[in-house]
């Protein structure tokens, strides 16, 4: 199966992983709505919804750039309505938009707490709530949320409890929706990287050093394409890891994804929130 003719609604897809997923879907011939805030160039971050739309069109898809703050219900409703009006429906929701601050309690003021939870947990829930009526009409509907496997060990909360609450809130949406929407045939899955991913956001958080120990966003895009092409009634409620998804498809060489060509897998930095035994998620 491919995503040809399918319509994806992707949040925060003006750069990074979201954009990579959009471009990969476009290569199949998909329609992609990019719902993100960046209409004007950011002084520190590359890309806008309009440059993303150009990349999507150049890859062979159809693009709809929409200025949208997913914390605002009216804006999300308008973005969903515009997508349906333009492409005739929605087959896939990709909850990609996310805010991050790896700070402890005293270093995380309420404005930053509200930002992370407003975008990550609440934004994911809101987009799901407004897209589900349209997903119900699709022949192979999927919700894919970029969030980690549920793992409530203190080690994942103590250093940055506010961010962990916000990020696991996204994963809890997957948990609930997979069961709630099973009768409707809507798949709800999460996807998370085994290694850190070389994006502008990770560079801002960890600097050039961590970026050099990362993989490119294309590994997440390729894994997403595999998941979104699966029959929705047969593949749901999973917490997927990018590398494991591709290994299950027979891929064994991941060297092409290294942000710095030639970096061995052993030198790559593992991402947060990974279980000690990844085989449990395979």
User: Is the model's pLDDT at 282 over the cut of 70?
Assistant: no
d(CA 266, CA 269): 8
Mean pLDDT of 76-87: 98
Under the banding of pLDDT at 50, 70 and 90, the label for residue 208 is: confident
pLDDT for 251: 97
Task: Give the active site residues.
Answer: 163
Look up residue 198 and give its two tokens.
């070389």
Cα-Cα end-to-end distance for the chain: 21
Question: In the chain, what are the domains?
Answer: 7-281 (3.40.50.720)
d(CA 163, CA 193): 17
pLDDT for 200: 80
pLDDT for 253: 96
The mean pLDDT of the chain is 95
Are the C-beta atoms of 210 and 259 separated by less than 8 Å?
no
pLDDT for 77: 98
pLDDT digits (tens, 9 = 90+) for 220-245: 999 999 999 999 999 999 999 999 99
User: Is the model's pLDDT at 45 over the cut of 80?
Assistant: no
d(CA 249, CA 223): 10
Mean pLDDT of 120-127: 98
User: Is the model's pLDDT at 39 over the cut of 70?
Assistant: yes
């Amino acid at each position: 199966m491919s995503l040809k003719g399918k319509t994806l609604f992707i949040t925060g897809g003006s750069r990074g992983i979201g954009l990579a997923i959009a471009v990969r879907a476009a290569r199949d011939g998909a329609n992609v709505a990019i719902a993100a805030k960046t209409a004007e160039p950011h002084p520190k971050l590359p890309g806008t919804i309009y440059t993303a739309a150009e990349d999507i069109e150049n890859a062979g898809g159809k693009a709809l750039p929409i200025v949208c703050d997913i914390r605002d219900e009216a804006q999300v409703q308008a973005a969903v309505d515009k997508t349906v009006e333009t492409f005739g429906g929605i087959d896939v929701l990709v909850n990609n938009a996310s805010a991050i601050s790896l700070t402890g309690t005293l270093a995380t003021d309420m404005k930053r707490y509200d930002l992370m939870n407003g975008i990550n947990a609440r934004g994911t829930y809101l987009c799901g709530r407004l897209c589900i009526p349209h997903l119900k009409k699709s022949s192979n509907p999927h919700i894919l949320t970029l969030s980690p496997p549920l793992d409530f060990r203190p080690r994942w909360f103590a250093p940055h409890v506010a961010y962990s609450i916000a990020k696991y809130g996204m994963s809890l949406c997957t948990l609930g929706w997979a069961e709630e929407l099973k009768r409707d045939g809507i798949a709800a899955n999460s996807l998370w990287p085994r290694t850190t991913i070389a994006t502008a956001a990770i560079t801002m958080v960890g600097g050039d050093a961590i970026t050099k120990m990362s993989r490119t966003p294309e590994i997440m895009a390729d894994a997403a394409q595999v998941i979104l092409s699966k029959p929705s009634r047969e593949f749901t409620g999973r917490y997927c890891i990018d590398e494991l998804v591709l290994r299950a498809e027979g891929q064994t060489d991941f060297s092409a994804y290294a942000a710095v060509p030639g970096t061995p897998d052993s030198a790559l930095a593992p991402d947060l929130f990974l279980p000690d035994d990844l085989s449990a998620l395979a």
